[in-house]
Amino acid sequence: MKKISLLLLFLILVNCKEDKGSEVKPQTGDNDHASLSYAEGFTIENHDGFKILEIKNPWPKSDKSYRYLLLSHEMASKIKLDKTSYDGVIITPIQKIVVTSTTHIPALELLNVENTLIGFPDTNYVSSEKTRALIEEGLVRELGKNESINTEVLLELRPELVIGFGIDGNNKTFDNIQKAGIPVIFNGDWVEKSPLAKAEWIKFFGVLYNKEKEADSIFKKIETDYLEAKKIAQNVTQSPTVLSGAMYKDIWYLPSGTSSEAILLKDANATYLWSETTDQGSLSLNFEVVFDKAKDAEIWISPSYYSSLEAIEKANPHYTKFKAFQNKAVYSFVNTTGKTGGVTYFEMGMARPDLVLKDLIKIAHPELLTDYEPHFFERLK
């Protein structure tokens, strides 16, 4: 009888151990991908109890991909993690985050999670009133310069995740952060090919905060507004010619015809004079080539960082020979700034291409969108 009792006790203990140890490795069998209409730089796989976020080619000419396992707090306690299969394991929803570009801030605010931001490099560049208030209250710590983040302060903050961006993938600071056990995700929104593709990266933030439905809804509204504005502009028969950019030293840099800037001008029904070019990145031309083609352009958009016609003339008297300059049809976003001088367009423009498009339509076709007030661009004085 004693032997039978001991055997029963042994079986009970084994069963209890098996229940507690019912941890399993996440299986990547049947799954469905989150719906993405434009973005190509990331995918989201939805599995039973977890998600896999994949970041593809997050900087120009990159052939690298990164995979992250996303788990809820509940699933993290049940699943046996095979960390070698992923570039990071992230517990969602994120409670404490560090982002490194002002372009990341609008997504946090649109999803109403800006209060999870605890650190940012170069906080003076932040334009948003909501996030600036958090900075001024001391809730968002200054992390130094983007190219040399103060890792001592960052490690003291212990964020659950750092959102970075890479020019070529070589960043020792991010390597050290990851070695300290803090996941870093490269955000590649800026590499996307179209304005709506860049804006769709709000879904990337949505999955990190378990707010996929909210992100989908926000993007759908941006997309709808963008396409409706585009449709209004296409009904106009006149399409003004447009010059863009300015000289830096001896080179005039301006957008390629495949760039987001060129796409926005096309959708605004404006004739960008270099729309036929297919170069990757900016075009690099000399003054004579630009002047020969664009001396009679009706509109001059984004003349570098010049904030007035006087500043343009002082930089190079030859600029005054352009018809657009003579007619004072020069428009820029550099004068629209936040409290500490951060340019609003650099922060918000990528997340809200619908507003950028409406600004350009207002410039190219003043008779349209009669009640609309531009958010970013203004005519230089």
Domain positions in the chain:
32-222, 236-379
Helical spans, DSSP H, in the chain: 2-20, 73-76, 105-110, 129-136, 151-157, 172-179, 195-199, 202-208, 212-234, 260-267, 287-294, 309-315, 323-326, 344-348, 353-364
Q: For the chain, state the CA radius of gyration.
A: 25
Q: How many CA atoms lie within 13 A of 63 on its CB side?
A: 0
- Amino acid found at 66: Y
pLDDT at 24: 43
Contact 58, 64 (CB under 8 A): yes
Tell me what pLDDT residue 16 has.
42
Report which DSSP code applies to 162: E
Q: Encoding tokens for residue 83?
A: 């960390």
Largest CA distance in the chain: 108
Best CA proximity match to 195, nearest among 62, 356, 347, 342: 356
Position 61 scores a pLDDT of 85
User: Please, are residues 59 and 188 in contact by the beta-carbon 8 Å criterion?
Assistant: yes
pLDDT tens string for the chain (381 positions)?
444 444 443 433 334 433 444 444 555 444 577 889 999 999 999 988 899 999 999 998 888 899 999 998 888 877 776 767 899 999 999 999 999 999 999 999 999 999 999 999 999 999 999 999 999 999 999 999 877 899 999 999 999 999 999 888 778 899 999 999 999 999 999 999 999 999 999 999 999 999 999 999 999 999 999 999 999 999 999 999 999 999 999 999 999 999 999 999 999 999 999 999 998 889 999 999 999 999 999 999 999 999 999 999 999 999 999 999 999 999 999 999 999 999 999 999 999 999 999 999 999 999 999 999 999 999 999
For position 171, what pLDDT does the model report? 83
Which position has the token pair 């903050």?
Answer: 157
pLDDT of residue 167: 82
Tell me if the domain spanning 236-379 has CATH number 3.40.50.1980.
yes
pLDDT of residue 244: 98
Choosing among 3.20.20.70, 3.40.109.10, 3.40.1360.10, 3.40.50.1980, the CATH entry for 32-222 is: 3.40.50.1980
Same fold, 32-222 and 236-379: yes
* Residue 246: count of CB within 10 angstroms of its CB: 20
